[in-house]
Structures are given as structure tokens and as C-alpha cells.
A and B are shown apart, each in its own frame.
Chain A
Amino acid sequence: MSLMIRGKPDDDEYWNSSKFKAFTFDDEDDDFTRLKESKRAVNSILVEDEDEEDEVEKVNWSGEPVGSISWSVKETASNIRSTGEVRDLSFPKIDTAPSLPKNSSGYSLSSLFKGKAKTGSLQSFSESFSEQSLRNYAPELRKPKSEYKDYISDWTPEETVKRMQQGKAYSLEKFHFLQDKLLLLDEAVNAHDGNVITAVLIFLKKSLSKEILFRELIAREIALRHYIHYLKEMGEHKHLVELFKSLGRTEDMALMQYRDHLNIKDENRRRDFLKNCLSLPFSQEDATHVLDHYTLLERQIIIEANDKHVESSSQADIFKKYPRKASILNMPIITTLYYSCFYHYGESEGTYSSPANIRKTFRISDKQFLLTCLGARAKLKAWFDVDALFTTKNWLGYTKKRSPIGFHRIVDILHKNNAPVQVLQEYVNLVEDTEQKISLAQKYKCHDVIINTYRDLKDRQLLIGYREKVERSSPEYRKIEELLCNSQIRWKN
């Protein structure tokens, strides 16, 4: 197959200026054409009897062949090439708890532990390959009866945490002293087991006052984060608000309360809720955004009520011609602007639904405004409005087209909205960079632009070349012919 590195001069600028001359996703690409051909070829290969829906594995409940279900764990055991010999397999402990007292020296091999496990845990998988392994798969069977007997025993925090990790019986009742409770918490954190950390926190939540618990959590970042996550998951927002308050994390608190608006379906109640949010201690920047949110919904409610009425009483043609697909409630600001440019274009700034009012209220940038407006008016094929968006008059009364974004982007947007060639070429012509202009004109088949550009470049060869690409006896063809015969032009080649 051929190399994908392409050196054609008309390639995208980037592919020439950089090393990544890899491939393009261009529609006209040779590879794509080739792919299409392959597809045709493959699809055209005639095969008899299409009856078997075979081979391509489908996934459904009955898709897979039934394996041997009675396959026993004993068989598994025999699969493991076990020699029966038991040996210590030791790896060194490494320091994982930066906030807590270090347990070992770290990486040195001297810290290899050799100790045998204190309690014969049945949880380990390696055990499950022994004879009675089947039992180990039943978690309830893991705890021999005898272990329940010494229920109220003197397990240290460390032992307690270990038992909790292993799913064995444990008791937290005896941790009465604050100091013991905290030791237990620290031990859980030390064991890096979020499940156990949360379990201990639930115990502390029940057995300590909020003030004390919060105070102790401030100095324990890891435990604190577990606690916050647990409260979030449980939906205990009031408790969480108090926690954030006592930690001085007011912005987090504000955001968390603001989040609740998502649970309110009724728009009027949601608007009132957002209004109440305005007094929350957001950062200065976020406060502006929340104010925008409130203002937006307030206006959307007004616009929605009005437009619904207008639409149902068929007062305006635009709603008949383009019925609204969805309500404007809870849509983003830009969608609202688009809606307003679509249905309320030309209204005076005094009305809430006018583009000008939305632009001003939400401080929308020129660029953003133009893009949205352009999209909406092009969708309606209101080319006159599109034209007016770019037209400026200077002091002498001459008109000129200007745009805060490059005209090549404007052309793209217009094309995506199915603008006719006559409209497109007007904007292609406004592209400053000649190369870019030509490539756009080629992409969108704006023959006049190409021909005129070549004429202005006085490039006879390019013009002759282009003549081959247009249809014979088309107006373009004739135009080229005329130009080539024109003796007034002083060709450079």
C-alpha cells in the first residue's frame, strides 16, 4: 500500500508546516475513495446461501455456549500446579501513609517480614485451592462459630481494623474514650481501606457530638474526605452544610446548596430557589454566574408563557412555519439567544425576548453574538439579515463588510446551513488569504471566485488547468474561454 505521507501543495497548511503529515479525514481523500471501492467490492462478492448467521459472535443471554457447570473447585485445584509445599513469600513493606507515623524504613530489603499470619485467615484465595476450598466461597462460612464467643474481647485498634478488613466479627462498643476512638480512626486510615475508614466514621458519627467530630476531622484530611463522600452519598445535606461551615469551606457549602436546584422540577419553584441562592457565599466570580442563572430562568419563564400563548393562538407566522420543538425553559444562555434570534429577531431592546436585550443582560461578546445570530438567520435562510450582520458604513457612506471572526469560518457556518453558492461565494471572496480563498472556493464549487482569482493573479496556466475541471459548455467553461482569448490581459505565464 502506498505511503500515507502526502506532499501535495494544496494540502491543509498545517500538514505542510508540521511533521505530522499523517493522514487526513478529508472527504476527497484517495484512501476514502479506495475504502469505498473496497466496500463495493466486498459487498458485491456473491455468496450462495446466506442462511448461517454464524461466526460473528453476538452477545446475548444465550449467546455463549454453555460451559460445564458442574465443574468443581476441586478441578480448579488440580489445575494449579501446586506442589503442596508451603513457603514464605515475602515482599517488603513500603511507606504509604505520609500523614501518619512511619511503620518501616521503606524500601530496604532488610524490612522483609517473615512473620506467619497470626490468625489463619480463610479469606485468602490461595487457600481456596486446598481440599475444602469450596467452603471458602461462602462468606458466611468463613467465620467459625468459635470466633463469636470472645465477642467482647480486648482487641486493640489495630486488631479491630484487621478483623474488619477480613470480614470477621468485631466490636466497636468498647471504644468509649475519645482517645481510643481516634486511635481506631487513625488505624483505619493507616490500613488504606476506605470501607473500614467509613465504618469507623459511621461509629464516630453515632457516638460523638458533631462539634467534637468536626474538630477532630479538621486535622485528618483523609478521614475527612471519606466522611464528606459518605454524607454526600447518604444525601445528608444538612449535616454536610454544618460540616463545611465549621471547616470554613463556605464556597463548597454554597455550591452544594446551589446543586439542590437540580432536584426541583417546577420552574417557578426552581426560580425562587435560585433567588435564595443569591445570598450564598459564592466566590465573587461564581456569584455573577448564579445571578445570571436566576435572571435567565426568570426571563425564560416570561418568554415561554408569552410564546406558548402566541403559538397556540396562531398570532405569528414564524411559529406556524417553524413550530417550536421544545420549551426554552432551563436552556443555556446561548440557546436562549439563538431562540430569540430565530423567533424574536428585530424586536426592540426593551423586550426581554429581544436578541439585543439578552446580549446586553448577559454581557455576550461580539464574536459570540455574531456566531449565534448568524446560525439562526442562516437556518431561516434570511440571507438579507446575514448580509446586514457584516455590513458597516464608514463616514463617507461607503459600505464595507467586517467580521470579528475570519470569513473562512463564516463560510463554513453558512455551508453547514445549506447556503446557496451565490451566497457562499460572496463570503469566500472576502477571505483575505488567497490560498485559503482558492481552497474554500474549490471545496464549495464557487467557480467564479476561482476564475476571477486566477485572472487577478494573471496566471494563465492555472486557468487552463481549471478549465479541465469544469464541465464543457457550462457558463464557467465559457467564461474561462473568454478570458483566455482576452488579449487585454497580460498573463505572467
Chain B
Amino acid sequence: MAHSVRRDAPELPDFSLLKRLARDQLIYLLEQLPGKKDLFIEADLMSPLDRIANVTTLKEHEVDKLYKVEHKSIVSTSDQLCFLIRPRIQTVKWICDVVNADKAVGKFRRYKVIFCPQKFYACETLLEEQGIIGDVTTDEWSFYLLPLDDDIISLELPEFFRDNFLEGDQRWVRTAGSALHLLHSLYGPFSKVYGIGRCSKMAYESWREQVKEGEQRVRQADIGNVFLIDRDVDLVTPLCSQVVYEGLVDDIFRIKCGCVEFGPDVTSSDKSMKVMLNSQDKVFNEIRNEHFSQVFGFLSQKARNLQTAYDKRSGMDIKQMKTFVSEELKGLKKEHRLLSLHIGASESMMKKKTKQDFQEMLKTEHSLLEGFEIRECISFIEEHINRQASMVESMRLLCLLSLTENGLLPKDYRSLKAQYLQSYGVDHLLTFSNLKQLGLLVEQQPGETLTVMESRVGKLVNDKTAGKLTDAFSSLAKKSNFRALSRRLNLVPKSDEEYDLRVPRDMAYIFSGAYIPLSCKLIEQVLERDGWTGLEEVTRMINGHEFAVTGSNGSDPRGRSDAQRIILVMFLGGCTYSEISALRFLGKEKGYKFVVVTTAITNSARVLESMLDNHA
């Protein structure tokens, strides 16, 4: 709404081409199995498939019946079965069972497995071991990139986060490289690539190798610069409660592949409704990046305008009315419908959040980010656990505590863990083990007490001396370093100033003025400095694997200056809607346009749920 907008922001390239490419390849693959066939689709490929094709498309290529992969025995009568799946061992095992069950009863069919976006040797080995290669043919559907909106492209690989950062499995590195390569071929050539994180570095290398193997045709670049960032460079941001409209909708209703299902409480009817949330929705487009507190005012104003527009009807003669109906009414009705939907959603979110003591929750989060009244925060978390309030929320607060405090004191760790297990089940021992492995929730090691002392000193004396002390200490400490990073990059604005959310002055507005997301701050700094110079201390604290490279066409005189201001930011391990909002804000301030490419849209619940292991 009230952002100062630089008028010279360049236009974004058209990413719908990616959808057409994916669709055409799918059609080609379906045609490789001529004749009628039944198609089994992996559950989490359904929504992405929905975005690029529809039933008619599939029917036109002789797909008879559609099934969801459910890991149960099948009922199909077709003599040709096609499986559209992710390359997962569990799904391949199920296919092996299906095929072997058919063979056991002497049923003959043809089977085709299409792996998306690529096949893995482990899957093929399994098919071989089960003796069904030959009965089964395999293919790859290189559907890497799904545009979710004008400026968001997703790989739709939520498992990237766990596989890469928890399990240490690099199976998706090449996938990321290939995705980058596709973008480079279609919208490049890129002239500069910045990055931070181990995985980013590897993805860059993989991409570079693929560029080397192929040939690049010279075209004028649409996208000039690329920034790669690992999710584990900044784990604090995705664990914060989202308070920007789009993020809040995602936290509460869960946006799936750019689409949300609003229940009867939102639609004020007895039906649920699936709604696409993107820039096509004019009402949504105006509020998506706004702090939730600003949304009511906007919606009220909109409602008044709508009323005025409708009111024009009174006093119209027949002819005027005819024009009104044919020209304006449809638009008004559309806006009307969208408006009541978003008002309904806001109302429902308000109710839910009021119930959960959201206010106190935010207060605790902000205190943790600020490093203020930590004991009170611990008591709050403890009580949250004691009351058996949301299991994931309790975990989220514990992780935030650990990340911001550089680990928990052994005494606190033991006590909170014991209480957590009592409240939510002893099998969460497995979750704690995962969180420790990933570094989300750890115990301070004896050597690290310096950091504790440092934060105490920091709290006592708030002046330059403390700053110097901090530097001395932080050079000794090894991990996390959130406090020190926060101080160096000014992530937490000074608390004695009021923050006017109506006129945001920096990216902190996405967290009510309490915190500038580390991920976005790094991007801002690197673009400003055209590299990592001057950020050595910061990258050392992040343990960064940072890089900044220029391609040989970096000085290409034909390079459009516009392209240099379009920056592709690739999040390896997921990014949140709040971060996207922050980048949109940054873009408006600096005259950039950001294109966000992410392995998946994430939020605190998704990050933490991927750490759970306590189910069979």
C-alpha cells in the first residue's frame, strides 16, 4: 500500500513457458506407451500436475482411469499401467508388489514407471532385484520447475530439506543444478552468481558442469544475477510465526501448490472452497505482503468502495443500467466475491489466533530474538509444554530458544526434554535425536559457556565495551552465533524506537518490526557490495562456504541493464512466504525484481514435521 515504489523496476520474464515444456514432455512420455492405460499418480504430484495439465489432456493421450498411489493392492482392469511417481524406495517397493502379484496369478500387463523429476539408481536396482525389469520400463519426466506465481518458482521437493540437511544425502544436488541449468538456458545467460552454503556451492558446481557439457546458444539475458542460499544458513527465520497476510494464511490454512482450501468458517456457507492465491487475485495481490494489522483497514476501505460502486445503480436509467451490467457488474461481483472471501479468512484467523494466546507467543518469540528476559521465555515454553498445547509449537519455541541462545544449558535441556516427553510421548526421543543431529535443538557444550557469559555481559553493559568483549568471545565460540550475527547485521532494530507498520522502513516489518530475516539481509548486503567483501566476519560466523563468481559474459555489452536488476534467488531447502514478502519489499526499495526459486515453500510446521520420526 504505502510503500515507496521505484518506478524503474524491470519487467519479469514469462515463466509460463516452463509449464508448457513440462506438459509437452509428459505428453511425449505418455505416447511412448500407446493404447489405453490407467495412470497411477503419486499423491504429492497431483497438485503440481494440476497446474500444468488437466484430465482432458491426459484423456486425449489415452489415459483411461486415474488413481492416486496409496500403497494398497490395486483394482485396475487395464492391461497397461503407467505410474507417475517420485523416485522413492517405498513407492517402487509397492510397484514391485503390484507387478509380482500380477505375475503370481498369471496376469499379463505392460508397466511403465515415469520418475519425476529424475530416476535414482537405487530405485532401478530394486526393480532389478525384484526381477521385473523388462516387465517394467522406466522413464524420466524432467519436470523440475513449477511456476507458482509471477515471481515464485517451486521444485515442489519438500523432502529436499530432510534428505540434505538431516540425512546428509546429496541426491537432490544435481536436481537443483539441472533446474538452474534449465533456467539458465531459457532466461540466461547469467552473468553473476553469488551463493552461501555447502549445498549451494555443490549445486553451482553441478550446474556449471552441465553448462560445460552442453552448448549455450547466445540470447539476450532476461535474468542477470543469481543468488544461491542454503536453508541451514538461516534456520531462525522459518521458525518465526508469520504475521504477513500470505504467510499467516500459509501457517493457518496451509497453502498447497499456490492453492488454499478455505473451510465453511471462512466461506460462510456449508461448503469448503479451493482458491488459487496469486497475483491474478486482485484483492489478495494488494494485501499479501502486508502486515496482518494493516489488512483490516484495507479490506474495510475496499468494502466501502464496493458499496459506492454498487450504489451508482440507484438513479440510473435503463440505458445506463444496461451499460453498467455489461461493463462493470461482472468485475464488481468478482471483487465482491474475493473481498468477502478474504474478510472471512481474516476473521477466522483472528479467532484462531486469539484462542491460542498468540499475543504471548509473539512476545516470547520477540524476546528470544532480542535476547531479552530469557528466563521468562523458558517458563513460558515450559508451561506451553505442561499444558500439552500444540506439540509442533512447543518444539518450535524450543528450537528458537536453542538457535538464538547458542544451545540450551544442560540443566534446562534435560528438564525441558523430560517434560516434553511426558506431555507428547516418549517416542519423541527420536525427534530430539534428529533435532540434535541437524543442530536445531542442542545442549551447550562445556566449552561454549563463554557465549553464555558473553550474552550476560551483553545484557549488563549495553555499550561499545560490550561490543568489543563480544567480538573477543565470539571469535572463540564455534556455532550458531545468532546474537553476534544479529548485532553485526543489525537484524533486531533498536527497541527504543516505535515501528510504524503502515510505512515500513525496512524488511523487519514482516515480523512486526522485531527482526530482519537473516537470509534476506545477507542477500541485500551482497547485492549492495557486489560480493562478500566486508562481510568476512559474518560468513565466518555462519561457517558459510560463500562464493561470488562472474561468468565470461559478465561484461557482455549486449547484456540488458534490466536483466542485471532481475535477481534469481534460489533457496535450497525451502523458503517462507514471509521471506518472499521481504524480498518484494527490498526489490521495491532498490529497484530490483526478485524471482524466488525454492525447493518448496516452507514454514515452521513443515520444517519441524519433517523432523518427526515417531510414526510407523
Does B24 lie at the interface of the complex (its beta carbon under 8 Å from any beta carbon of A)?
yes
In the complex, what distance in Å separates the CA atom of A480 from the CA atom of B240? Answer: 47
From B445-453, B467-475, B545-553, the one touching the partner chain is B545-553
Contacts of A335 in B (CB 8 A): 388
The digit string for A221-251, where 1 denotes a CB below 8 A from any CB of B, is 1100110111011100000000000000000
Contacts of A92 in B (CB 8 A): 549
In the complex, what distance in Å separates the CA atom of A81 from the CA atom of B17? Answer: 13
CB distance B27 to A63 under 8 Å? no
In the complex, what distance in Å separates the CA atom of A14 from the CA atom of B211? Answer: 55
CB distance B121 to A62 under 8 Å? no
Does B476 lie at the interface of the complex (its beta carbon under 8 Å from any beta carbon of A)?
no
- Residues of chain B from 351 to 369 with CB closer than 8 A to chain A in the complex: 353-354, 358-359, 362-363, 366
CB distance from B346 to the nearest CB of A (A): 6
Contacts of A47 in B (CB 8 A): 310, 333, 336
Does A321 lie at the interface of the complex (its beta carbon under 8 Å from any beta carbon of B)?
no
CB distance A124 to B214 under 8 Å? yes
In the complex, what distance in Å separates the CA atom of A107 from the CA atom of B549? Answer: 7
Does A362 lie at the interface of the complex (its beta carbon under 8 Å from any beta carbon of B)?
yes
- Given A39-B340, A76-B17, are A166 and B217 neighbors across the interface (CB < 8 Å)? no
CB distance B512 to A22 under 8 Å? yes
Contacts of B206 in A (CB 8 A): 192-193
- Residues of chain B from 187 to 243 with CB closer than 8 A to chain A in the complex: 188-189, 193, 198, 201-202, 204-206, 208-220
Contacts of B142 in A (CB 8 A): 125, 137
Question: Which of B90, B122, B201, B217 meets A85, CB within 8 Å?
Answer: B217
In the complex, what distance in Å separates the CA atom of A226 from the CA atom of B170? Answer: 8
Question: Which of B172, B274, B545 meets A59, CB within 8 Å?
Answer: B274
CB distance B208 to A22 under 8 Å? no
Does B279 lie at the interface of the complex (its beta carbon under 8 Å from any beta carbon of A)?
no
CB distance B422 to A54 under 8 Å? no
CB distance B208 to A368 under 8 Å? no
In the complex, what distance in Å separates the CA atom of A458 from the CA atom of B403? Answer: 49
CB distance A42 to B339 under 8 Å? yes
In the complex, what distance in Å separates the CA atom of A20 from the CA atom of B495? Answer: 8
Question: Which of B66, B208, B350 meets A93, CB within 8 Å?
Answer: B208
Which chain B residue lies CB-closest to A197?
B170
Does A55 lie at the interface of the complex (its beta carbon under 8 Å from any beta carbon of B)?
yes
CB distance A286 to B213 under 8 Å? no
The digit string for B289-316, where 1 denotes a CB below 8 A from any CB of A, is 0011110111111011011001000000
From A24-32, A175-183, A340-348, the one touching the partner chain is A24-32
CB distance A91 to B220 under 8 Å? no
Does A140 lie at the interface of the complex (its beta carbon under 8 Å from any beta carbon of B)?
yes
Does B71 lie at the interface of the complex (its beta carbon under 8 Å from any beta carbon of A)?
no
The digit string for A4-40, where 1 denotes a CB below 8 A from any CB of B, is 1100000010100011111111110001101111110
Contacts of B387 in A (CB 8 A): 371, 375, 413
Which chain A residue lies CB-closest to B433?
A255
CB distance A195 to B121 under 8 Å? yes
Which chain B residue lies CB-closest to A198?
B122
CB distance from A252 to the nearest CB of B (A): 8
- Looking at A4, A27, A86, A113, which has the most chain B CB atoms within 10 Å of its CB? A4
Question: Which of B185, B353, B419 meets A25, CB within 8 Å?
Answer: B353
Contacts of B29 in A (CB 8 A): 137-138
Question: Which of B28, B189, B353 meets A89, CB within 8 Å?
Answer: B189
Does B20 lie at the interface of the complex (its beta carbon under 8 Å from any beta carbon of A)?
yes
CB distance B56 to A66 under 8 Å? yes
Which chain B residue lies CB-closest to A265?
B616
The digit string for A387-418, where 1 denotes a CB below 8 A from any CB of B, is 00000000000000000010001000100000
Does A67 lie at the interface of the complex (its beta carbon under 8 Å from any beta carbon of B)?
yes
- Looking at A37, A59, A372, which has the most chain B CB atoms within 10 Å of its CB? A59
The digit string for A264-302, where 1 denotes a CB below 8 A from any CB of B, is 000000000000000000000110011011001000000
- Residues of chain B from 277 to 296 with CB closer than 8 A to chain A in the complex: 280-281, 291-294, 296
- Given A19-B513, A43-B268, A57-B280, are A112 and B205 neighbors across the interface (CB < 8 Å)? no
CB distance from B328 to the nearest CB of A (A): 12
CB distance A4 to B167 under 8 Å? no
Contacts of A62 in B (CB 8 A): 54-56
Does B173 lie at the interface of the complex (its beta carbon under 8 Å from any beta carbon of A)?
yes
From A126-134, A211-219, A482-490, the one touching the partner chain is A126-134
From A115-123, A307-315, A445-453, A467-475, the one touching the partner chain is A115-123
Which chain B residue lies CB-closest to A2?
B297
Does A3 lie at the interface of the complex (its beta carbon under 8 Å from any beta carbon of B)?
yes
CB distance A193 to B215 under 8 Å? no
Tell me whether chain B's interface is mostly helix, strand or loop, or mixed.
helix
CB distance B204 to A94 under 8 Å? yes
In the complex, what distance in Å separates the CA atom of A34 from the CA atom of B303? Answer: 11
From B75-83, B150-158, B424-432, B594-602, the one touching the partner chain is B424-432
CB distance from B108 to the nearest CB of A (A): 22
CB distance A25 to B359 under 8 Å? yes
CB distance A80 to B293 under 8 Å? no
In the complex, what distance in Å separates the CA atom of A14 from the CA atom of B366? Answer: 11
The digit string for A72-106, where 1 denotes a CB below 8 A from any CB of B, is 11001001111111111111111110000000000
CB distance A202 to B616 under 8 Å? no
Contacts of B60 in A (CB 8 A): 69
Does B530 lie at the interface of the complex (its beta carbon under 8 Å from any beta carbon of A)?
no
Does B57 lie at the interface of the complex (its beta carbon under 8 Å from any beta carbon of A)?
yes
CB distance B168 to A225 under 8 Å? yes
Does B374 lie at the interface of the complex (its beta carbon under 8 Å from any beta carbon of A)?
no
- Given A58-B273, A123-B213, are A94 and B121 neighbors across the interface (CB < 8 Å)? no
Does B101 lie at the interface of the complex (its beta carbon under 8 Å from any beta carbon of A)?
no
CB distance B301 to A1 under 8 Å? yes
CB distance B186 to A45 under 8 Å? no
Which chain A residue lies CB-closest to B260?
A59
- Residues of chain B from 383 to 428 with CB closer than 8 A to chain A in the complex: 383, 386-388, 414, 417-419, 421-427
In the complex, what distance in Å separates the CA atom of A367 from the CA atom of B415? Answer: 13
CB distance A71 to B214 under 8 Å? no
In the complex, what distance in Å separates the CA atom of A93 from the CA atom of B182? Answer: 19
Does A326 lie at the interface of the complex (its beta carbon under 8 Å from any beta carbon of B)?
no
A-B contact pairs, 5 of them (CB 8 A): A1-B297, A26-B359, A43-B340, A124-B211, A195-B120
Further pairs besides A32-B347, A225-B168: 11, Cβ < 8 Å: A22-B499, A38-B303, A41-B307, A71-B20, A96-B202, A126-B217, A137-B28, A140-B32, A192-B173, A225-B169, A367-B383
Interface residues of A (CB under 8 A from B): 1-5, 12, 14, 18-27, 31-32, 34-39, 41-43, 45, 47, 52, 54-64, 66-67, 69, 71-73, 76, 79-96, 107, 109, 112-113, 115, 117, 119, 121, 123-127, 129, 134, 137-140, 164-167, 191-199, 202, 221-222, 225-226, 228-230, 232-234, 252, 255, 258-259, 261-263, 285-286, 289-290, 292-293, 296, 330-335, 362, 364-365, 367-368, 371-372, 375, 405, 409, 413
In the A-B complex, list the 9 residue pairs whose CB atoms are closest, starting with the nearest.
A124-B214, A1-B297, A23-B293, A194-B171, A225-B168, A199-B121, A194-B170, A293-B426, A192-B202
